[in-house]
Amino acid sequence: MALIQGRFIDNIGRVYAIYTGGFLAFILLMAVLEQLGVGADTIGILFVAFTIAIYALIGWLSRTMEVDAYYVAGRQVPAVYNGMATAADWMSGASFVALAGGVYFGGYGYMAFIVGWTGGYVLVNSLMAPYLRKFGCYTVPDFIGTRYGGNLARLCAVIVLVVASFTYVTAQINATGTIAARALHIPFSYGVWFGLLGILLCSMLGGMRAVTWTQVAQYIVLIIAYLVPVIWMSNAQGFGLIPHFTYGEAAANMANFEAQYGLNPPAEAIPGLSVLTTPHTGPVGDYAEWKFITLALCMMCGTASLPHILMRYFTTPTVRSARKSVAWSLLFIFLLYFTAPALATLTKLQLLDPNLPTAIIGKPFEEVASLAWIQNWSSVGFLAIADQNADGILQLNEFFMRPDIVVLATPEIAGLPYVISGLVAAGGMAAAMSTADGLLLAIANALSHDLYYKMIDPKADTAVRLIVARILLVGIGALGALIASLQLTGILGAVAWAFCFACSGLFFPLALGVWWKRANRPGAVAGMAAGFIAGSLYLYYVYTGGAPWFGLDHLRFGIVGMAVSLVAMVVVTLLTPAPDEEIQRMVEETRVPTGPAILSDKH
């Protein structure tokens, strides 16, 4: 390209400006095609195919055979771009597709995810990222293995990492499969493998370097796809230019509509679909506040222990830029998370407020049943209306919907052109693919670097290490797709579990590794093993019908795991000798931003 001269890294701003301009031009082209009469299906296929082709191109251009580039993108990713890549890595298919729907149906209780998935970055920034960057590790178990010493500690960290990340990645492959199936009109079981193919194209040839640059591209697509429909809808419906600051009245009025229509369970439930029964703005029921806090705490500590996020901060040039990049990450994530409640509120208002033309609740049943968007989504079983009290009027508890279609259906509810729906599909695909890439890479790197290279064959040469890493990547991806195609778990449940597994096993060993010089190997092993086992047993106990303790259900088992982990780690550490002087000096070095890294390059 004539526009780009010199090294890529010196031209990033220009490259991504051109890319963003190109994507906007593509959206306009699709809008023109729609006006010319091209069908909705074709536009959906073009959106998904075009964006995946771009990611694959970036993945191919970033191919590498160097260890440093493969594991940590050569440690030269500028803070702002690492922030964007982390944001894409972070915001999964669940955040993009399911979050607003969750707030729509769950109200206050669900918003613990929003607080948890943003507040966690304060922990990442103050407890973890800068120190792990100074350490100079390639993977999270690399830190545990070196700080505490010994293969047992490293192995425990690898096991926790693999279980947490694998739980998470099956949910993401499931999401890519769902979106690919709908946009490309192929069966779900093919969609899953198609999604995996796209994911591997981004990561296999270039490892962390390729994933970094595709994730930046995916962030740009997903944030445009999330904000454009909300802002467009808000302007079309008269909520103001930027709805985030003007929907206060709508949120306040919600209580009146809730009182008017009544928040009652349906006369006859429809499996898989939900009816609105939770008030929008405040807590209700026993333990509501406690449940909020425990869920938020699990999500926050899980954020600070999930390896696919922590390893993103190993790619920055310096400790200071690692911190700066956490700040950018949170800002980019915040843009989506503070939009989700706005979207949920506006969508709900459109359906409930009798003064708006889009309202359906309280309208004659026949009139609602003839709406195009009701028919489209009913035909695939994601939505249903049933006049269960036979009064000819659609009541609030007679409108059934799957929570995760709120984001996808909103453009149609508001009567926006189809090009917006295609854009939203491309955004959801970007969100799910970028997270799946980060997770697959975290698992494959831990297995290839920590298990294979550090524990099994320390003499393996570079080429062999990188080939092993790639074989593992493909193998784990295939296993994930296989499990996803069985559809064992819902997307949201699997995501919450991943956070709980991660914080049960890794939060305290990681944090105390930096903040408590006295922490030693037996303590860390006890903390990881006891926390992880206690958490898993408690999950098994509540999931098989055991009565939850203090309202700690299967989404919050990390609280039990973390408590056991902390106690085990502190008690065992104090009962065993302090770590030797070399380790203590290593911890002191970790706390200072300057000077050489603890682990040398190419370790």
Partner 1 sequence: MSANDAGDVRDRYWAKTRNLTIVVLALWAFFSLVVPAMVSTLNEFTFLGFPFGFYMIAQGSLIAFVVIIWVQNWRQDAIDDEFGFGEEE
Name which of 514, 516, 507, 485 is nearest 566 in CA terms: 507
**Cβ distance 276 to 404 under 8 Å?**
no
CB of 445 to partner 1, least distance (A): 26
DSSP string, 206-235: THHHHHHHHHHHHHHHHHHHHHHHHHHHHH
Residue 129: in which H helix or E strand, if any?
helix 129-135
Q: Which residue has the tokens 């797709």?
A: 481
CB of 108 to partner 1, least distance (A): 6
CB of 298 to partner 1, least distance (A): 12
**Cβ distance 215 to 89 under 8 Å?**
yes
**Cβ distance 582 to 146 under 8 Å?**
no
Closer residue to partner 1 in complex, CB, 73/112:
112
**Which pair of structure tokens corresponds to residue 526?**
């006890």
CB of 245 to partner 1, least distance (A): 6
For residue 588, count CB atoms less than 10 angstroms from its CB and return exposed for 0-12, middle for 13-18, buried for 19 or more. exposed
CB of 589 to partner 1, least distance (A): 10
Closer residue to partner 1 in complex, CB, 467/592:
592
Q: Which residues contact 231 (CB under 8 A, 6 or more apart)?
A: 241, 242, 243
CB of 508 to partner 1, least distance (A): 15
CB of 244 to partner 1, least distance (A): 7
**Which pair of structure tokens corresponds to residue 194?**
């198609």
Task: Tell me how far apart the alpha carbons of residues 441 and 472 are, in angstroms, rounded to a whole number.
Answer: 9
How many beta carbons lie within 10 A of that of residue 34, not counting itself? 18
Closer residue to partner 1 in complex, CB, 367/588:
588
**Cβ distance 287 to 550 under 8 Å?**
yes
**Which pair of structure tokens corresponds to residue 541?**
């106990």
CB of 560 to partner 1, least distance (A): 18
Closer residue to partner 1 in complex, CB, 111/208:
111
The helix/strand/coil state of 303 is: helix
CB of 80 to partner 1, least distance (A): 12
CB of 91 to partner 1, least distance (A): 14
Task: Tell me how far apart the alpha carbons of residues 262 and 362 are, in angstroms, rounded to a whole number.
Answer: 11
Closer residue to partner 1 in complex, CB, 341/505:
341
Task: Tell me how far apart the alpha carbons of residues 454 and 470 are, in angstroms, rounded to a whole number.
Answer: 17
Closer residue to partner 1 in complex, CB, 174/347:
347
**Cβ distance 522 to 573 under 8 Å?**
yes
Closer residue to partner 1 in complex, CB, 166/292:
292
Name which of 88, 61, 78 is nearest 12 in CA terms: 78
Task: Tell me how far apart the alpha carbons of residues 108 and 102 are, in angstroms, rounded to a whole number.
Answer: 10
Task: Tell me how far apart the alpha carbons of residues 14 and 256 are, in angstroms, rounded to a whole number.
Answer: 50
Closer residue to partner 1 in complex, CB, 138/328:
328
Binding site for partner 1 (CB under 8 A): 108, 111-112, 114-116, 118-119, 121-123, 125-127, 244-249, 251-252, 280-283, 289-290, 292-293, 296-297, 300, 317-321, 323-324, 326-327, 330-331, 334, 337-338, 341-342, 588, 591-594
Task: Tell me how far apart the alpha carbons of residues 115 and 591 are, in angstroms, rounded to a whole number.
Answer: 29
Task: Tell me how far apart the alpha carbons of residues 338 and 453 are, in angstroms, rounded to a whole number.
Answer: 43
Looking at residue 410, its amino acid is: T
Task: Tell me how far apart the alpha carbons of residues 75 and 69 are, in angstroms, rounded to a whole number.
Answer: 8
CB of 332 to partner 1, least distance (A): 10
Q: Which residue has the tokens 């944090």?
A: 511
CB of 585 to partner 1, least distance (A): 11
Closer residue to partner 1 in complex, CB, 387/553:
553
Closer residue to partner 1 in complex, CB, 338/550:
338
The helix/strand/coil state of 363 is: coil
Closer residue to partner 1 in complex, CB, 112/192:
112
